[in-house]
C-alpha cells in the first residue's frame, strides 16, 4: 500500500471515507466504549444499562415501606394509573405489585398533528416477615398513590425484644 493513502491530508476527494466527513471525533470513542460494555455484559442475562429504548419503556414505581409495632405500610407512587391497571397479590412471605401504565398524548394544531404513546409494565416483589394478619390487609388508591396496610398478628407484636446497647 502506498504511503500517501495512509495520510488523510493527501487523500483525493473520492478516497475520503464517507464516515470521516460525517462523524464528530468523539463518536468513534463512544462506539468503542459501547462495544466494550456490550462485550463485558455478553455473558449475563441483561445488559448493565440496557438500550436507550428499553430504559425509556421501563417503568418502576417508587415504593416506601415502613414498619412500626402495629403494622407494615407500603406506599407506591403510580402517577397516571387507574386502580383497574394495578394488581396486588399477597402470599405468606411476599407482597407483589403488578401493573401496566399506558399513556397517550395527542395534540392537534392548525398545521400539525402530534401523538405520543408510552407503555410500561412493572412487577415489584416486597419480602414480608412472618406474622402478618392476612385477613385484615387493606389497599387504597388515591391520587396516584397506592397505600397497603399489613397489620401484624398479636404474636408478632409481642415477639420483639428490645436489646440495650452499652457504651464502652
Task: Return the exposure string of 46-63: e unless at least 16 CB atoms fall within 10 Å of the residue's CB, then b.
Answer: eeeeeeeeeeeeebebeb
- Answer CATH for 59-159 from 1.10.620.20, 3.60.21.10, 1.10.630.10, 2.60.40.790: 2.60.40.790
Task: State the DSSP string of 52-91.
Answer: HHHHHH-----EEEEE-SSEEEEEEE-TT--GGGEEEEE-
- Residue the block writes with cell 401484624: 152
Q: pLDDT tens, 75-90?
A: 999 887 888 889 999 9
Q: pLDDT tens, 42-83?
A: 665 554 455 544 544 456 788 999 988 889 999 999 887 888
Q: Are 37 and 49 in contact (CB under 8 A)?
A: yes
Task: Write down the pLDDT at residue 137.
Answer: 92
pLDDT of 166 over the 80 cut: yes
Which of 1-10, 38-47, 127-136 shows the lowest mean pLDDT across its residues?
1-10
| Domain chopping of the chain, boundaries | 3-41, 59-159
Task: Write down the pLDDT at residue 53.
Answer: 46
Task: Write down the pLDDT at residue 147.
Answer: 95
Amino acid at each position: 500500500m502506498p504511503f500517501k493513502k495512509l495520510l488523510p491530508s493527501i487523500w483525493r476527494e473520492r478516497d475520503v471515507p464517507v464516515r470521516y466527513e460525517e462523524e464528530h471525533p468523539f463518536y468513534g470513542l463512544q462506539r468503542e466504549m459501547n462495544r466494550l460494555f456490550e462485550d463485558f455484559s455478553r455473558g449475563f442475562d441483561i445488559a448493565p444499562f440496557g438500550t436507550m429504548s428499553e430504559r425509556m419503556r421501563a417503568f418502576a414505581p417508587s415504593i416506601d415501606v415502613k414498619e412500626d409495632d402495629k403494622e407494615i405500610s407500603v406506599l407506591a407512587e403510580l402517577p397516571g394509573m387507574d386502580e383497574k391497571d394495578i394488581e396486588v397479590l399477597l402470599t405468606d412471605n411476599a407482597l407483589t405489585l403488578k401493573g401496566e401504565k399506558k399513556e397517550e398524548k395527542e395534540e392537534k394544531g392548525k398545521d400539525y398533528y402530534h401523538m405520543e404513546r408510552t407503555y410500561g409494565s412493572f412487577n415489584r416483589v416486597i419480602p414480608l416477615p412472618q406474622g402478618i394478619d392476612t385477613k385484615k390487609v387493606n389497599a387504597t388508591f388515591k391520587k396516584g398513590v397506592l397505600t397497603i396496610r399489613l397489620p401484624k398478628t398479636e404474636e408478632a407484636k409481642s415477639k420483639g425484644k428490645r436489646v440495650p446497647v452499652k457504651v464502652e
